[in-house]
Structure 1
Amino acid sequence: MTDTETVTPTASDTGQSRKPVLTRWLITGMAALATLALALTVLVTTDDQDETATAAPSADSADAGFARDMAVHHQQAVEMAYIVRDRTTDQDVRRLAYDIAQTQANQRGMLLGWLDLWGQPKTSPTYMSWMKSGHTGMDMSHEAKDGSLMPGMATNTELAKLQGLKGKQAEILYLQLMYDHHLGGVDMARACAKRCEVEPEQKLAQGMVEAQQSEIRLMTDLLRQRGSAPR
């Protein structure tokens, strides 16, 4: 599913109380495109004004590696948000999913925009290799599961299971998967905040750490309300 995919209302969304939620979902892709354009404009303007600007990051730099890998990581978060949107009418979970989808689609647009500006490829030959460059180990407290691309990411089997659930069961699995997703994302963002050299990217990464840690606490509370907990 792409960031700009058209959202079709489900039977549960036809009530008047659902219209604001659907409107927000419909503008998520548009917001991502606007953020991408803004990121390119700001960086190009900064580059034009600063003749002493440093050279673009190399393909094996932490800056380029983080941008490529986090763009993939974010794409799955957006995908999971769309899945749970159609499988529950609970407004707390739908609101959280919307917020995550909008935020991470926007950030993904910025990351891909920077890669375009730097003339770097958008796919990594080896995921997470940037976290090992020049260091004896990886700044990761969580390992990738068998079948997942990177730490925190769900497997195809887990995504298929989420697609087959509804109501409270879908809410719980979504919250558990997104909890894990954020744990991996926080590790990656924290590493970029330390290793990346492009200041706007460092600031974006630090913002990811703070925002996702807050959402981790919220997801823990939502799981507790449903008689469950992170896995």
Structure 2
Amino acid sequence: MSRTPRTYWAAGSAVLLALLFAAAATVAATGDSGTQAGTSAGPPGLHSPDAGFARDMAVHHQQAVEMSFIVRDRTQDEAVRSLAYDIANTQANQRGMMLGWLDLWGLPKVVAGEPPMSWMGTSEEDGKQGEHSGHGGHGGHGTDGEHGTDGTHGTHGTDGGHSENSSPSGHSGHGTAAKPGALMPGMATKEELAQLAAASGRDAEVLYLQLMTDHHKGGVEMAEACARQCRTPVERDLAQGMVDAQRSELTLMADMLGKRGAAPRG
């Protein structure tokens, strides 16, 4: 008898559990964003680190989910497929939580004219003062909440609505610039995603591990900034959890690359 139905059932159960955990964490964030959010009263401001991290990391996670789904179709290697499955489920769950927080805070998921990661180096008070500066429109990153958490969409999630020449370099609070054609540090370009989709076997495994290593390094830098700057306790905890988990996965991926006669990119 085919095991496919059982496999789908297990995958569906995992996604359902992830959504339940996301809902519970979102409810917790409702309380945290008010009386427990440091010294601030009420929800975070439009340009606060809390809101900026939720918006930017949701976009960052979207691409990780997409890359993971791509590689699962391009290799039969169980180690890589298992890692990709774990990353896709974890980051889809976290992405749903962050988008849910923005909804609860009454804040848009995109802000026109706001460069990616510009919140790094911005205080909560700065974020509240910026609410009336005319940057409340939609049309920035492209994380509009309509893509869901499975990472499927038609544009590969690379530029999120920005020009491919957009880069967060030059903003205060972070030192790693995005490479040309990438929206944020660590993110892959459309060309790299196309290469991954066209590769197979070992070539796909190595490219995925290299791209995800870069992706994790950029994500860790952003999460570390939120762990320092965000005022919502549950969001700070999530950010620190991302740092710890992704550092562990970086070690794992370096080992997996070594076993395939490759190494992380410079």
Q: TM-score, normalised by structure 1?
A: 0.84
Please state if 1:34 is matched with 2:20.
yes
Counterparts of 1:60 and 1:119 in 2: how far apart (Å)?
13
1:210 matched to 2:197: no
Structure 2 counterparts to residues 1-231 of structure 1, below 5 A: 16=3, 23-27=9-13, 29-44=15-30, 54-124=41-111, 125-133=114-122, 138-231=172-265
Equivalent pair of 2:30/2:101 in contact (CA under 8 Å): no
Cα separation, 1, equivalents of 2:217 and 2:35: 38
> Does the Cα contact within 8 Å between 1:140 and 1:184 map onto a contact in 2?
no
- Asked whether the equivalents of residues 189 and 209 of structure 1 are also in contact (C-alpha less than 8 Å), the reply is yes
Contact 2:185 2:218 in 1 (8 A): yes
Q: Root-mean-square deviation (CA), in Å? A: 2.7
Q: Check conservation: 1:31, 1:106, Cα contact below 8 A.
A: no
CA distance in 2, matches of 1:87, 1:113: 32
Ranked by relative contact order (alpha carbons within 8 Å, sequence separation 6 or more), the top structure is 2
SS at match of 1:68: helix
Identity of aligned residues (%): 54
Check conservation: 1:78, 1:105, Cα contact below 8 A. yes
User: 2:150 aligns to what?
Assistant: none
Q: Which amino acid aligns with 2:235?
A: E
Deviations 1:192-224 (A, max 9, x none): 001111111111101100000000000000000
Change (3 A) 1:48 1:24: same
Q: Which moved more, 1:136-145 or 1:215-224?
A: 136-145
Gaps of 5+ in 1: 1-13
Secondary structure of 2:119's match? helix
2:134 paired residue number: none
Contact 1:24 1:98 survives alignment (8 Å): no
Q: Distance in 2 between matches of 1:89 and 1:46?
A: 43
Residue 139 of structure 1: how far off its partner (Å): 4.0
Instruction: Tell me whether 23-32 or 204-213 shows the greater mean CA deviation.
Output: 23-32
Q: Matched residues in 2 for 1:178 and 1:108: separation?
A: 17
CA distance in 1, matches of 2:32, 2:119: 26
SS of residue in 2 equivalent to 1:174: helix
Matched residue type, 2:188: A
Amino acid at match of 1:150: M
In structure 1, distance between residues paired with 2:97 and 2:230? 15
Contact 2:56 2:117 in 1 (8 A): yes
The runs of 5 or more residues in structure 2 that have no matched partner are: 127-169
Question: Structure 2 counterpart of 1:70, which letter?
Answer: M
Partner of 1:3: none
**Paired residue for 2:162?**
none
Q: Distance in 1 between matches of 2:57 and 2:90?
A: 13
Distance (whole Å) between structure 2 residues aligned to residue 190 and residue 178 of structure 1: 18
Decide which structure has greater helix share. Answer: 1
Deviation at residue 47 of structure 1 after TM alignment: 7.3
Contact 2:63 2:187 in 1 (8 A): yes
